[in-house]
Each structure stands twice: as structure tokens, then as C-alpha cells.
Amino acid sequence: MAKIDFGGTIENIVTREEFPMSKAKEVLKNEVIAVIGYGVQGPAQSLNMRDNGFNVIVGQRSETKDGWNRAVKDGWIPGKTLFSVEEAAQKGTIIQYLVSDSAQRAIWPKVKPYLTKGKALYFSHGFSITYKDQTGVVPPPDIDVIMVAPKGSGTSVRRNYLAGSGINSSYAVFQDATGKATERTLAVGIAIGSGYLFPTTFKQEVYSDLTGERGVLMGALAGIMSAQYETLREHGHTPSEAFNETVEELTQSLIRLVDENGMDWMYANCSTTAQRGALDWLPKFKAAVAPVFKQLYESVASGAETKRVLDSTSGPDYRDSLNKELKKMRDSEMWAAGAAVRSLRPQNWKN
């Protein structure tokens, strides 16, 4: 493992140099990796492993037509590499449990009987294990329980792999029944295309993940954008101007500079007016949102967020209500303006 200094804190990071693909193939040479679920993470992880030459099969509920048909379209062959959930779980030695959190609770009785001694149950999220009192997901004691959690959506996992860059992932071992759980975990982490892997626990992963999704990554980001856009519009700015100053400049320019060199470098390479204003207003925004983040983390840690997720997503009309919420967002003026702005981006500067 490589020891990396993260601002004064030393962490042990596993890179492809320490754990190359050749070692992953040696560790997994006798394993059958059964990917259960073909929704968000399932396609990306299974396709990456297949492309890397590992023995992978997919388990998907045939009644879920979209997922089954998508798997067939991606080259998984019914009866050969594509099976029902139960049959795939029976055939697999490493069971990747990649259905949604609510579905993990629902189909657990179908999967558990096939978790026989020596197998490994793999997650990409600590949700079901950490909140087992709510999900009922309690693995038998004679199997490995492991996790590799890519820090990005399935789309990013696949896209980064195809670009040759990989995506960063956290990893954890919850239960080591075979004495080989860590080795299996790291091997699968490399197999799915991780750029590097950093250690965590199931609890720490789900706490940080739920906080991040509701916070900076999605909830807070969308909320802050909406607040700024509406403020500009209320003061007479056009939709195009308000959207460009709120979203387009962030996503097409500034965030790329942050990605490449860090926030301080981005600040140093902006105008002095922007730089000074940002530094002056930064602590005001931090003070405003810090209480919200504390409330959010407490809600995650208490299990209140989990209960709300499981209760709402398990309802028979959840998909309809979700689509209505997403349509409301899509039809809002800000994101309608965004669609117009995106359509105006030059497709090829050389033309």
C-alpha cells in the first residue's frame, strides 16, 4: 500500500501499482462473479470486469423488462451469462448485490439461501448492512462480506474505464470468514476499474455517501443554484444570463480548473474582483449552511434518512411520484434555459 499525505493525515491507498490487474486475475481465477441487478452500478461493473477477462455472470429479475432487455443488448446471453436472480446467486462464488437499497431488502429472501459457506457477498454501498435492523439483511456467519464503493455513478465508472483513467473507490471488509476477504475485495476493486482504492468501513461509507448526496453533490448544489438563479431573475436578468452565471460557467470552466489544480489555483487564476469577493463571501456561506449539514449528518446517523428512503421508495406508486418530481425540475425555467444553452454549445470548433 502507498502511504499518502492528505493535508497532514497519512492514509494507506491501494493503487494499480501495488495491486496490478495480473494479481487480481490470479486471486479471482477460480471465482464466478455474479452481478445481481442491472440498473445503476450493475452494468458498469459487470461490463468492466467482462472486458478485463474475468468470469462474470448477471442475475436480473426477468419481470423487470428494462433491466433484462438492457442486459441482452449489452451482450449477456440468457441461459449462458444471464440468469434469474436465484440461479445467478447459486452459480456465483462472489455475489455482487447491486440492486437498489429498497430492492435489496425486498429480494433478500431469494438471495440468502444461496450464500453458502466460503462465498463472498459484495456491496457497493454500506446501506443494507449498516441499517440491518431496518433492511433485514443479515448475512450468514460463514461467508465473506465485502464492499467496493466507486465514488461516482455507474455511468462514470464505465466512462472513466473506457477513457483509461478509472474511478476512485473506497473498500471495506465487514466479515472475513475465509481469511481471504481483503484480497478478494481488492481484486474485485481493480477488476471493476478502480483508479485507486482507499479504506473505509461500511458505516463510514454510508454516512459519508448519504451526507454527500443530500449535500454538496446533489441536494445542496441544486438548491444553491436555484436560489442564485431566482435572485438574478427577480432583479431583471434574462434566463440566459442567469443560467450562464449560475450553472454554465461553473460546469464548463471553473469546476474543471478545480479538478485539475485545486480551489486555491482556481481562485489565483480568476480576476482580482472575483477572487476578493469569493474570499470575503466564503465564510458567510459556510456559516449559513454549516447548521444544515450538522442536521443532515445527525439524520443520517440516527437512521431517520434510511427510514424515509425505505418507506417512500417501497410504495407501489413511487415511480410515478418520482417522475412527477423530476418533470417539475426539468420543466422549471432554469433547466429549460439550461437545455437551450446546451443546444447552443459548438459541437466542433473546427467547423
pLDDT of residue 11: 82
| CATH code of 10's domain | 3.40.50.720
Give yes or no: residues 230 and 332 share one domain.
yes
Q: Which single residue is written with the C-alpha cell 438471495?
A: 111
Active site amino acids: 125
In a domain, 170, yes or no: yes
Q: Is the pLDDT of residue 7 over 90?
A: no
Asked if residue 60 lies in contact with residue 82, where contact means CB atoms within 8 angstroms, the answer is: yes
Whether residues 185 and 121 share a domain: the answer is yes
The pTM of the full predicted model, rounded to 2 decimals, is 0.89
pLDDT given for residue 170 in this prediction: 95
Helix H, strand E, coil C: the string for the chain is CEEEEECCEEEEEEECCCCCHHHHHHHCCCCCEEEECCCCHHHHHHHHHHHCCCCEEEECCCCCHHHHHHHHHCCCCECCCEECHHHHHHHCCEEEECCCHHHHHHHHHHHHHHCCCCCEEEECCCHHHHCHHHHCCCCCCCCEEEEEEECCCHHHHHHHHHHCCCEEEEEEEEECCCCCHHHHHHHHHHHCCEEEEEECCHHHHHHHHHHHHHCCCCHHHHHHHHHHHHHHHHCCCCHHHHHHHHHHHHHHHHHHHHHHHCHHHHHHCCCHHHHHHHHHHHHHHHHHHHHHHHHHHHHHHHCHHHHHHHHHHCCCCHHHHHHHHHHHHHHCHHHHHHHHHHHCCCCCCCC
Nearest to 46 by CA among 27, 71, 24: 71
| Residue 82 confidence (pLDDT) | 97
pLDDT of residue 156: 92
Mean confidence (pLDDT) of the chain: 93
CB 333 within 8 A of CB 233: yes
In a domain, 206, yes or no: no
Query: In terms of domains, do 98 and 243 share one?
Result: no
**84 & 186 share domain:** yes
Q: Looking at mean pLDDT, say which of 275-289, 310-324, 335-349 comes out highest.
A: 275-289
29 and 94 in one domain? yes
Q: Round to whole Å and give the CA distance between 153 and 161.
A: 12
Predicted pLDDT of residue 348: 55
18-67: per-residue pLDDT in tens? 999 999 999 999 999 999 999 889 999 999 999 999 999 999 987 777 88
Asked if residue 21 and residue 89 are part of one domain, the reply reads: yes
Q: CA-CA distance, 114 to 117, in Å (whole number)? A: 9
Does 12 score more than 90 pLDDT?
no
- 215-250 pLDDT tens trace: 999 999 999 999 999 999 999 999 999 999 999 999
Residues 126 and 228 in one domain: no
- 207 domain-assigned: no
CA angle 143–145–151, rounded 5-degree value: 160
Integer-rounded Cα Rg, in Å, for the chain is 22
Residue 119: which of 249, 32, 37, 5 has the closest Cα? 32
- What percentage of the chain carries pLDDT values higher than 70? 99
Is 60 exceeded by the pLDDT of residue 283? yes
The answer to the question of residue 271 being in a domain is yes
Residues 156 and 299 reside in one and the same domain: no
pLDDT of residue 293: 97
- Considering 200, 233, 250, which residue would you say is the last residue of a domain? 200
Q: Locate 318 and state its grid cell.
A: 413511487
Do 116 and 30 share a structural domain? yes
Assess whether 220 and 173 both reside in one domain.
no
Residue 264 has pLDDT above 90, yes or no: yes
Pair (52, 180) in one structural domain: yes
Q: Are 48 and 107 in a shared domain? A: yes
Quick one: average pLDDT of 91-105?
A: 94
Which tens digit of pLDDT belongs to each residue from 59-88? 998 777 788 999 999 999 999 999 999 999
Q: Which domain holds residue 175?
A: 2-200
Residue 349 has pLDDT above 70, yes or no: no
Which pLDDT does position 4 carry in this prediction? Answer: 79
Taking only the tens place, the pLDDT of each residue in 165-220 is 889 999 999 999 999 999 999 999 999 999 899 999 999 999 999 999 999 999 99
Among candidate residues 179, 200, 221, the one where a domain is terminated: 200
